[in-house]
Amino acid sequence: MTIQTTIDRSSARAIGPLPKDHPPVKPRKTGVMLVNLGTPDATDYWSMRRYLSEFLSDKRVIEWPSVLWQPILQGIVLSRRPKKSGAAYDEIWNQEKNESPLRTFTRSQSDKLAAALSEHDHIHVDWAMRYGNPSMESVVTKMMDAGCDRIVMFPLYPQYSATTTATVNDKFFDALKKLRFQPAARTVPSYYDEPIYIEALARSIENHMATLEFEPEVVIASYHGIPQSYFRKGDPYHCHCHKTTRLLRERLGWGEKKLITTFQSRFGPEEWLQPYTDKTVEAMARNGVKSIAVFNPGFVVDCLETLEEIAGEAGEIFHEAGGENFTHIPCLNDSDEGMAVIESLIRRELSGWL
């Protein structure tokens, strides 16, 4: 007669026999899920429409009443925007892998984190997207099928906003709500002022500037914007962004005129957080500033908003307005510095579970 046993995670020893008719019991695992914003599966009209419909239907992102917003979204917006957005994605698309850079880098982060945690054979690392594929629900299912009874979910947003961190948390717990047997769950908090994150940003800036043949007169920290109304309702994002910039100034030894904060990617008729990145870049060039650098501390990996909107479009605006030297400093991506941030925060949140 075969005796089946359960396995204790900490010691891998048998802790008791199971009845012979008991279904097989999988070794207990702990899941680690990295979650980024999302990406379309392709750049054609219908792929873009599906992605944008999911993204712009999120009530955390667009807070207008659905009865007002959905007719506008499904009519005017989704009849025009998918083609325009698809063309923008084509400019930065990873042609070799036929996917967006955001997907490429997020997958690489997951793979590198798994390697860094490989001494713990019960850790199962995976990645998901809030919008698009792989969906958070599908990855939760994979983790449960693999035997994960504990999951740490990491929203890859340094600065907290209801439009980003909160909606990822919502989607994660929506997936858990569908389960009869739920895992224990933890979420990684925002880390806008974590010393290891500030140090990683500072080193990335220093390393990039060491490769330049010019000295930027101004360095711009460009964060994704949110509507002013969200800030007035209590979203802490604006404060988090400014604190990240302030801590970077202190670390780099720069003044307020050398490193400034701006906001990009506004959408719709509302007033958004200011100053706007595009307007600032243009005004600087017109006022005689010849050399600038721009980086995106609110983005963990390079994506449409950093590569097309900043490295491409903002650079064109600066040059057309009379600027001479423009450089975009890449995101941390899957660099050693960037992975050190992710690994450090995950190990902290795994405390007691390793």
Question: What ranges do the domains of the chain cover?
Answer: 29-190+336-349, 195-329
With 0-12 / 13-18 / 19 or more C-beta atoms within 10 angstroms meaning exposed / middle / buried, residue 338 is buried
* CATH fold label, 29-190+336-349: Rossmann fold (3.40.50)
**Buried b / exposed e across 174-206, counting CB within 10 Å, b at 16+?**
ebbeeeeeebebbbbebbbebeebbbbbbbbbe
- What's the pLDDT score for residue 3? 38
- What's the pLDDT score for residue 223? 98
Distance between CA atoms of residues 59 and 105, nearest Å: 27
- What's the pLDDT score for residue 17? 73
CB within 8 Å of 249: residues ≥ 6 apart: 255, 256, 258, 259
- What's the pLDDT score for residue 27? 82
Per-residue pLDDT of the chain (354 residues; tens, 9 = 90+): 343 444 444 444 445 677 777 777 778 999 999 999 999 999 999 999 999 999 999 999 999 999 999 999 999 999 999 999 999 999 999 999 999 999 999 999 999 999 999 999 999 999 999 999 999 999 999 999 999 999 999 999 999 999 999 999 999 999 999 999 999 999 999 999 999 999 999 999 999 999 999 999 999 999 999 999 999 999 999 999 999 999 999 999 999 999 999 999 998 889 999 999 999 999 999 999 999 999 999 999 999 999 999 999 999 999 999 999 999 999 999 999 999 999 999 999 999 998
Kindly write down the DSSP assignment for every residue of 81-140, as one continuous string: HHHHHHHHHHHH-BTTTTB-HHHHHHHHHHHHHHHHTTT-TTEEEEEEEEEESSBHHHHH
Phi-psi region of 345 (alpha: psi -120 to 50; beta: other; left: phi over 0): alpha
Distance between CA atoms of residues 272 and 72, nearest Å: 20
Distance between CA atoms of residues 110 and 169, nearest Å: 19
Q: Do 29-190+336-349 and 195-329 have matching folds?
A: yes
β-bridge partners, 193? none
**What is the CATH architecture of 195-329?**
3-Layer(aba) Sandwich (3.40)
